[in-house]
Amino acid sequence: MASFRRIQLFSTPWIACRHRSKPNIQKPKTPHEQRRIFEAITAPILQEDILDPKRLCFNVTKVVRESEENLYENFLIQDCRKRFESAKVLLVFQSNSLSKNDLKEIRNTMISKCGKVELKEWDNEILRSALAESKFAALTPLCFSRNVFVFPENESQLSDIIKVTKTLFTIHLLGGVINDTIYTKAGIVDYSQLPTIDIMRAQLLQTLNKLQGQTISNLQYHVSGISSSLKHLSEREDNK
Protein backbone atom coordinates (compact mmCIF):
# COMPACT_ATOMS: atom_id res chain seq x y z
CA MET A 1 0.00 0.00 0.00
CA ALA A 2 2.85 2.29 0.68
CA SER A 3 4.00 1.97 -2.94
CA PHE A 4 0.65 3.24 -4.22
CA ARG A 5 0.70 6.30 -2.03
CA ARG A 6 1.16 9.58 -3.83
CA ILE A 7 4.46 11.15 -3.12
CA GLN A 8 3.97 14.71 -1.84
CA LEU A 9 6.85 17.10 -1.78
CA PHE A 10 7.14 19.26 1.27
CA SER A 11 7.84 22.94 0.56
CA THR A 12 8.16 25.71 3.07
CA PRO A 13 6.31 29.04 2.54
CA TRP A 14 9.65 30.82 2.33
CA ILE A 15 10.50 29.21 -1.04
CA ALA A 16 7.71 31.00 -3.06
CA CYS A 17 8.57 34.66 -3.07
CA ARG A 18 8.15 37.59 -5.45
CA HIS A 19 11.31 39.43 -6.40
CA ARG A 20 9.47 42.18 -8.33
CA SER A 21 6.69 44.62 -7.57
CA LYS A 22 3.06 43.74 -8.14
CA PRO A 23 2.18 44.14 -11.85
CA ASN A 24 -0.21 46.94 -12.78
CA ILE A 25 -2.64 45.64 -15.37
CA GLN A 26 -4.17 49.03 -16.15
CA LYS A 27 -0.80 50.73 -16.66
CA PRO A 28 1.67 48.03 -17.72
CA LYS A 29 5.34 48.80 -17.98
CA THR A 30 6.91 49.31 -21.38
CA PRO A 31 8.46 46.06 -22.62
CA HIS A 32 12.13 45.77 -23.35
CA GLU A 33 13.54 46.62 -26.76
CA GLN A 34 13.64 43.10 -28.21
CA ARG A 35 10.01 42.47 -27.32
CA ARG A 36 8.93 45.80 -28.80
CA ILE A 37 10.69 44.95 -32.06
CA PHE A 38 9.10 41.50 -32.11
CA GLU A 39 5.59 42.87 -31.49
CA ALA A 40 6.05 45.53 -34.18
CA ILE A 41 7.15 42.92 -36.73
CA THR A 42 4.45 40.37 -35.92
CA ALA A 43 1.59 42.93 -35.70
CA PRO A 44 -1.03 42.13 -38.41
CA ILE A 45 -1.60 44.70 -41.14
CA LEU A 46 -5.31 44.97 -41.94
CA GLN A 47 -6.88 47.08 -44.63
CA GLU A 48 -9.52 49.63 -43.78
CA ASP A 49 -11.92 48.12 -46.32
CA ILE A 50 -11.84 44.81 -44.52
CA LEU A 51 -12.49 46.41 -41.14
CA ASP A 52 -15.59 48.22 -42.42
CA PRO A 53 -18.55 45.82 -41.92
CA LYS A 54 -20.77 47.83 -44.29
CA ARG A 55 -18.49 47.11 -47.24
CA LEU A 56 -18.30 43.40 -46.44
CA CYS A 57 -22.06 43.03 -46.77
CA PHE A 58 -23.44 43.25 -50.30
CA ASN A 59 -27.08 43.59 -49.26
CA VAL A 60 -26.80 46.64 -47.04
CA THR A 61 -29.90 48.86 -47.13
CA LYS A 62 -30.02 52.34 -45.64
CA VAL A 63 -32.60 52.51 -42.90
CA VAL A 64 -33.75 55.89 -41.64
CA ARG A 65 -34.87 55.63 -38.08
CA GLU A 66 -37.62 58.07 -37.33
CA SER A 67 -37.92 59.32 -33.80
CA GLU A 68 -41.08 58.13 -32.14
CA GLU A 69 -43.37 60.95 -31.04
CA ASN A 70 -44.49 61.00 -27.46
CA LEU A 71 -48.16 61.90 -27.67
CA TYR A 72 -48.52 62.57 -23.95
CA GLU A 73 -45.52 64.91 -23.98
CA ASN A 74 -46.96 66.78 -26.98
CA PHE A 75 -50.27 67.10 -25.13
CA LEU A 76 -48.52 68.60 -22.08
CA ILE A 77 -46.60 71.07 -24.27
CA GLN A 78 -49.77 72.23 -26.03
CA ASP A 79 -51.65 72.53 -22.74
CA CYS A 80 -48.83 74.58 -21.18
CA ARG A 81 -48.63 76.88 -24.20
CA LYS A 82 -52.40 77.47 -24.27
CA ARG A 83 -52.44 78.20 -20.55
CA PHE A 84 -49.70 80.80 -20.90
CA GLU A 85 -51.28 82.47 -23.92
CA SER A 86 -54.76 82.69 -22.36
CA ALA A 87 -53.57 84.04 -18.99
CA LYS A 88 -53.81 87.78 -18.36
CA VAL A 89 -51.92 87.57 -15.07
CA LEU A 90 -49.19 85.02 -14.32
CA LEU A 91 -46.83 84.76 -11.35
CA VAL A 92 -43.70 82.58 -11.24
CA PHE A 93 -42.60 81.16 -7.88
CA GLN A 94 -39.60 79.00 -7.05
CA SER A 95 -40.47 76.14 -4.71
CA ASN A 96 -38.27 74.38 -2.17
CA SER A 97 -38.92 70.63 -2.36
CA LEU A 98 -42.70 70.80 -2.17
CA SER A 99 -44.75 67.67 -1.79
CA LYS A 100 -48.25 67.24 -3.18
CA ASN A 101 -49.76 67.86 0.25
CA ASP A 102 -47.75 71.08 0.70
CA LEU A 103 -48.86 72.31 -2.71
CA LYS A 104 -52.46 71.49 -1.83
CA GLU A 105 -52.21 73.46 1.42
CA ILE A 106 -50.76 76.48 -0.42
CA ARG A 107 -53.57 76.30 -2.98
CA ASN A 108 -56.24 76.14 -0.29
CA THR A 109 -54.66 79.05 1.60
CA MET A 110 -54.58 81.24 -1.51
CA ILE A 111 -58.15 80.35 -2.45
CA SER A 112 -59.44 81.13 1.05
CA LYS A 113 -57.65 84.49 1.31
CA CYS A 114 -57.29 85.67 -2.30
CA GLY A 115 -60.23 84.18 -4.16
CA LYS A 116 -60.16 81.83 -7.12
CA VAL A 117 -56.51 81.01 -7.93
CA GLU A 118 -55.04 78.22 -10.03
CA LEU A 119 -51.62 76.64 -9.33
CA LYS A 120 -49.74 74.67 -11.98
CA GLU A 121 -46.49 72.71 -12.18
CA TRP A 122 -44.69 71.51 -15.31
CA ASP A 123 -41.40 69.80 -15.99
CA ASN A 124 -38.58 72.08 -17.14
CA GLU A 125 -38.22 70.28 -20.48
CA ILE A 126 -41.95 70.72 -21.13
CA LEU A 127 -41.69 74.41 -20.25
CA ARG A 128 -38.69 75.03 -22.52
CA SER A 129 -40.40 73.29 -25.43
CA ALA A 130 -43.65 75.21 -24.87
CA LEU A 131 -42.04 78.65 -24.44
CA ALA A 132 -39.27 78.32 -27.03
CA GLU A 133 -41.23 79.62 -30.03
CA SER A 134 -43.74 81.84 -28.23
CA LYS A 135 -43.89 85.42 -26.97
CA PHE A 136 -42.89 84.16 -23.52
CA ALA A 137 -39.47 82.94 -24.65
CA ALA A 138 -37.81 85.40 -22.25
CA LEU A 139 -39.10 83.29 -19.34
CA THR A 140 -36.99 80.26 -20.30
CA PRO A 141 -34.05 81.32 -18.04
CA LEU A 142 -36.39 80.83 -15.08
CA CYS A 143 -36.95 77.18 -16.03
CA PHE A 144 -33.87 75.78 -14.30
CA SER A 145 -35.41 74.42 -11.09
CA ARG A 146 -38.77 73.40 -9.73
CA ASN A 147 -41.24 76.25 -10.21
CA VAL A 148 -44.87 76.87 -9.32
CA PHE A 149 -47.02 79.02 -11.62
CA VAL A 150 -49.95 80.93 -10.12
CA PHE A 151 -52.81 82.07 -12.38
CA PRO A 152 -55.14 84.55 -10.61
CA GLU A 153 -58.40 85.67 -12.19
CA ASN A 154 -57.68 89.41 -12.20
CA GLU A 155 -55.09 91.98 -11.20
CA SER A 156 -56.85 92.94 -7.98
CA GLN A 157 -55.66 89.68 -6.38
CA LEU A 158 -51.97 90.53 -6.70
CA SER A 159 -51.65 92.38 -3.40
CA ASP A 160 -53.42 89.59 -1.48
CA ILE A 161 -51.27 86.90 -3.11
CA ILE A 162 -48.05 88.75 -2.26
CA LYS A 163 -49.20 89.16 1.36
CA VAL A 164 -49.96 85.45 1.61
CA THR A 165 -46.68 84.33 0.04
CA LYS A 166 -44.67 86.50 2.43
CA THR A 167 -45.82 84.23 5.25
CA LEU A 168 -44.86 81.09 3.30
CA PHE A 169 -41.22 80.01 3.30
CA THR A 170 -41.62 77.24 0.74
CA ILE A 171 -42.19 79.41 -2.34
CA HIS A 172 -40.45 82.61 -3.44
CA LEU A 173 -41.61 85.11 -6.06
CA LEU A 174 -39.34 85.40 -9.13
CA GLY A 175 -41.43 87.49 -11.52
CA GLY A 176 -44.52 87.35 -13.66
CA VAL A 177 -46.45 88.42 -16.71
CA ILE A 178 -49.27 90.99 -16.68
CA ASN A 179 -51.10 91.82 -19.92
CA ASP A 180 -48.33 90.27 -22.08
CA THR A 181 -45.63 92.29 -20.28
CA ILE A 182 -42.90 90.57 -18.28
CA TYR A 183 -42.17 92.04 -14.83
CA THR A 184 -39.51 91.30 -12.25
CA LYS A 185 -40.26 90.73 -8.58
CA ALA A 186 -39.92 94.46 -7.81
CA GLY A 187 -42.14 95.32 -10.78
CA ILE A 188 -44.84 92.91 -9.59
CA VAL A 189 -44.74 94.40 -6.09
CA ASP A 190 -44.99 97.97 -7.44
CA TYR A 191 -47.82 96.98 -9.77
CA SER A 192 -49.76 95.38 -6.90
CA GLN A 193 -49.65 98.65 -4.95
CA LEU A 194 -51.44 100.54 -7.71
CA PRO A 195 -55.20 101.09 -7.30
CA THR A 196 -57.60 98.95 -9.27
CA ILE A 197 -59.05 99.98 -12.61
CA ASP A 198 -62.43 100.73 -11.03
CA ILE A 199 -60.87 103.13 -8.54
CA MET A 200 -58.87 104.80 -11.31
CA ARG A 201 -62.04 105.24 -13.38
CA ALA A 202 -63.87 106.75 -10.42
CA GLN A 203 -61.02 109.19 -9.80
CA LEU A 204 -60.95 110.13 -13.49
CA LEU A 205 -64.70 110.75 -13.56
CA GLN A 206 -64.46 112.82 -10.39
CA THR A 207 -61.69 114.95 -11.91
CA LEU A 208 -63.62 115.43 -15.16
CA ASN A 209 -66.79 116.41 -13.30
CA LYS A 210 -64.84 118.89 -11.20
CA LEU A 211 -63.28 120.48 -14.29
CA GLN A 212 -66.66 120.58 -15.98
CA GLY A 213 -68.19 122.39 -13.01
CA GLN A 214 -65.32 124.90 -12.92
CA THR A 215 -65.69 125.57 -16.65
CA ILE A 216 -69.44 126.15 -16.34
CA SER A 217 -68.98 128.47 -13.34
CA ASN A 218 -66.31 130.46 -15.17
CA LEU A 219 -68.49 130.88 -18.24
CA GLN A 220 -71.47 131.90 -16.14
CA TYR A 221 -69.33 134.38 -14.20
CA HIS A 222 -68.21 136.15 -17.37
CA VAL A 223 -71.74 136.16 -18.82
CA SER A 224 -73.21 137.54 -15.61
CA GLY A 225 -70.49 140.21 -15.45
CA ILE A 226 -71.15 141.33 -19.00
CA SER A 227 -74.92 141.41 -18.44
CA SER A 228 -74.57 143.46 -15.23
CA SER A 229 -72.26 145.94 -16.97
CA LEU A 230 -74.70 146.35 -19.84
CA LYS A 231 -77.55 146.84 -17.37
CA HIS A 232 -75.67 149.63 -15.53
CA LEU A 233 -74.81 151.27 -18.83
CA SER A 234 -78.43 151.23 -19.97
CA GLU A 235 -79.61 152.73 -16.66
CA ARG A 236 -77.13 155.61 -16.98
CA GLU A 237 -78.37 156.40 -20.46
CA ASP A 238 -81.98 156.38 -19.27
CA ASN A 239 -81.15 158.79 -16.43
CA LYS A 240 -79.63 161.25 -18.86
Query: CATH code at 126?
Result: 3.30.70.1730
* pLDDT score at 64: 44
Number of domains in the chain: 1
Residue 159, sorted as left (phi over 0), alpha (psi -120 to 50) or beta, turns out to be alpha
pTM: 0.55
* pLDDT score at 182: 87
pLDDT tens-digit profile, the chain (240 residues)? 455 555 555 555 555 565 566 777 788 777 788 888 888 888 887 665 555 666 666 555 554 444 567 788 889 989 888 888 888 888 988 887 778 888 888 888 888 888 888 888 888 888 888 888 788 888 888 877 888 888 888 888 888 888 888 888 788 888 888 888 888 888 888 888 887 777 878 888 888 888 777 777 777 766 777 777 777 777 776 666
Assigned domain for 6 exists? no
Assigned domain for 176 exists? yes
* pLDDT score at 13: 58
Range of the domain at 96: 84-192
Assigned domain for 100 exists? yes
**What phi and psi values does residue 3 have, to the nearest 5 degrees?**
-75, -25
Number of CB atoms found within 10 A of residue 37's CB: 11
Assigned domain for 225 exists? no
Assigned domain for 92 exists? yes
* pLDDT score at 65: 47
Assigned domain for 163 exists? yes
Start-to-end CA span in the chain (Å): 181
* pLDDT score at 10: 56
Q: Give CA–CA dist 101/111, Å, rounded.
A: 15
